[in-house]
Structure formats: C-alpha cells, structure tokens
A = this chain, B = another copy of it.
Amino acid sequence: MSLVQWGCHRFRDEGAAAVTDTASTGRALPHPDREEIRLEGVLHALSDPMRLRIVRELAAGEAELSCSQFELPVTKSTTTHHFRVLRESGVIRQVYRGTAKMNGLRRDDLDGLFPGLLDSLLAAAERQAGRGGTPG
C-alpha cells in the first residue's frame, strides 16, 4: 500500500536541544526548547502511572526536589529512566546540584504552550486519586 511515513509515535528526536544549564556544577543536561515540546510527547510522558505520580508530587510542593526524595516502588535505574522521559518530553527541568539532581516542573513553558492544560491534568489526576485510583 506504500503509505506516507510521517514518523508516528516517535517523539525523541530532540535534534539540537539547548544544553545551556550550567548550574552550580559543570554537568549539563539536554532539555528541549519550549517550541520543541510536543503535545503527544507530554501526554505520553504523563500516561505512565509512575511519571504521573512524580509530576503530581512535583506540582504539590513549591520547591524543586531531588530524585531520591521520591519514594517510588522501582529501582534507581528505573527512576532515572522515568525522570529522563519527563525531561526529554519537556515536562520537567533537571539541574545538578552537588551529587543530587534537582527536578522542577516546567510550568511557565507548558502554560505558555498549552494554557490551562497542566492544571486540568493535575486536577484530573487529583480527582481520580480521590476516586480510588493510584496515580499519585
């Protein structure tokens, strides 16, 4: 049938992402620019219970949190993986601080791109959690 190949479910190009996060230490992490953030990528990132939970905890507190402050029922390797997915999809921003890696929601960028979306999503997760689901 020879159909158009327009790269479905492939959100990990990143291409030349901005690597300009020289925090207190020298290590930098690749983040997509605001304009590179794709809705499908964000939804994919948030469609995993573990990641939705992370984002909910991140949204609950004001400050940034290090990876180790999340008590997730998975190993450290898996935790690293989930945080990377969140960062590469543009949902969170990660910065090294000493041996820790601090995580913060990219609220400004997400609100700028998709006004109201993040709040709706968080409210939805909250509602479902109250209903007896386990997404956070």
Contacts and interface: CB of A to CB of B under 8 A. Distances in A.
Nearest to A118: B120
Interface in A75-115: 75, 113-115
Contacts of A123: 114-117
Given A39-B135, A121-B117, A47 B48 contact: no
Q: Number of contact residues on A: which range applies?
A: 35 or more
A60 interface: no
Nearest to A46: B43
A131 B37 CA distance: 11
A106 to B, nearest CB: 15
Nearest to A40: B47
A61 interface: no
B121 A50 contact: no
Given A114-B127, A115-B123, A6 B38 contact: no
Interface of A: 1, 3-4, 6, 8-9, 35, 38-41, 43-44, 46-50, 52, 73-75, 113-117, 119-121, 123-125, 127-128, 131, 133-135
